[in-house]
Amino acid sequence: MDLIEARVVFPPSRQFKFSASASLFSDEVVDLERMRAVLFFSIAVLALVLLMAVLKRSSSAPRATISAIPFPAPTAMLAAASQTPTASPNVPQPEASSTPTAQPLKSRIVVHHPEQFGKISTAELAVIKKALRTIRWSRNGDPGAAADEDYAAIVKYFKDGTPHNLFADLIAEIEGNDYRLGDGAANDTYSLRVQADFDSSVKADRDREEAAAGPAPDTDTLWGVSLYVHDAIKSVLRDPDSYKYISVSGPWRTSHTGKPCWLEKVHFRAKNGFGGYEIDTASVWVVRDSTSYHETVLDVQLASQE
């Protein structure tokens, strides 16, 4: 059997169309590559412009001036601090100053000065003179410290209790004596310190007495004084029903049998033993509670019975 050879032959028009399509595809690839190159170039130019703008702005901004003073390393500073400066043989070095300590007094004389007092009984004067001889007066070189020590010695000497006027008289005695002869400044310091100690002690005693005695009793009520006081006065009268209140004086803060209290002097009328009315005055010592304001009558004394 003979083979038949078949050949396809395109017409000329078909061959032209095929070659044109291949050429068009090749042109599109070339255009795409060009566009990509143009895009990359544009981006590079834009980035370069932005970079130049940033550099220009940073160069125009003011710069902080940094001192070029060299600082020593920490180890060098520690070493310099630990070094002991050596004294120059040619330059005299100042001596180290020290606070001088007050030297104790060699002697201390405290005597009685009669001109310090007004009227004083022989018994009271004997108490003061004995205290001046007995108390060991401070010889501390510091006048302020000596004043404190002397005041403490006086308080200790009179620890069992002494009339306030004698205590004040003894303070006046030691203030009248020179703490250090010929040293006016030291004497003034001593006297002022002793007086300050005394004033502080008096204030502390007053505060304690006020707290113990309680608030002052009311004397401007409808009955003048409290009913506790009226009843206490009636209890010592011969005829309690004849009691007629007149007025009151006080109150004064005081003490009675060693206890802080208030004293009221109540003026009244009452019958005497003959049946007639007479005016009398009752001294009434009371303590008032600071919370309930209850008054406790410590004692009542009639002027007519003294």
**What is residue 228's predicted lDDT score, i.e. its pLDDT?**
92
Pairing of strands 244-256, 277-288: unpaired
Half-sphere exposure of 4 (CA within 13 A, CB side): 2
Contact 303, 282 (CB under 8 A): yes
Entry pTM: 0.46
**What is residue 126's predicted lDDT score, i.e. its pLDDT?**
87
Placement of tokens 């005041």 in the chain: 151
The pair of three-digit structure tokens given for residue 10, joined into one six-digit string? 């395109």
**What is residue 48's predicted lDDT score, i.e. its pLDDT?**
82
Integer Rg of the chain from CA: 56
**What is residue 90's predicted lDDT score, i.e. its pLDDT?**
59
AA letter at 272: N
Predicted confidence pLDDT, tens digits, the chain (306 residues): 444 444 545 455 444 444 544 454 456 656 777 787 778 888 888 888 888 877 777 665 555 444 444 444 544 444 444 455 454 555 555 555 555 567 888 888 888 877 655 677 788 888 888 888 889 999 998 999 999 999 999 888 888 766 667 788 888 888 888 898 888 999 999 999 999 998 888 888 788 877 888 888 988 878 889 999 999 999 999 999 999 999 999 899 888 988 899 999 999 999 988 888 999 999 999 999 888 888 999 999 999 887
**What is residue 104's predicted lDDT score, i.e. its pLDDT?**
87
Query: Using CA atoms, how far apart are residues 125 and 154, in angstroms rounded to an integer?
Result: 16
Contact 153, 213 (CB under 8 A): no
In angstroms, how far is CA 79 from the centroid of its own chain? 43
Instruction: Give Cα separations from 215 to 74, 169, 219, 230, 252 (angstroms).
Output: 70, 30, 12, 19, 11
Half-sphere exposure of 208 (CA within 13 A, CB side): 9
Q: Is the peptide bond before 74 cis (omega within 30 degrees of 0)?
A: no
Instruction: Give Cα separations from 157 to 102, 127, 149, 150 (angstroms).
Output: 27, 11, 12, 10
Q: Long-range CB contacts (< 8 A, 24+ apart) of 107-110?
A: 107/139, 108/137, 108/138, 108/139, 108/179, 109/177, 110/135, 110/137, 110/173, 110/174, 110/177
Query: Using CA atoms, how far apart are residues 4 and 27, in angstroms rounded to an integer?
Result: 42
**What is residue 102's predicted lDDT score, i.e. its pLDDT?**
75
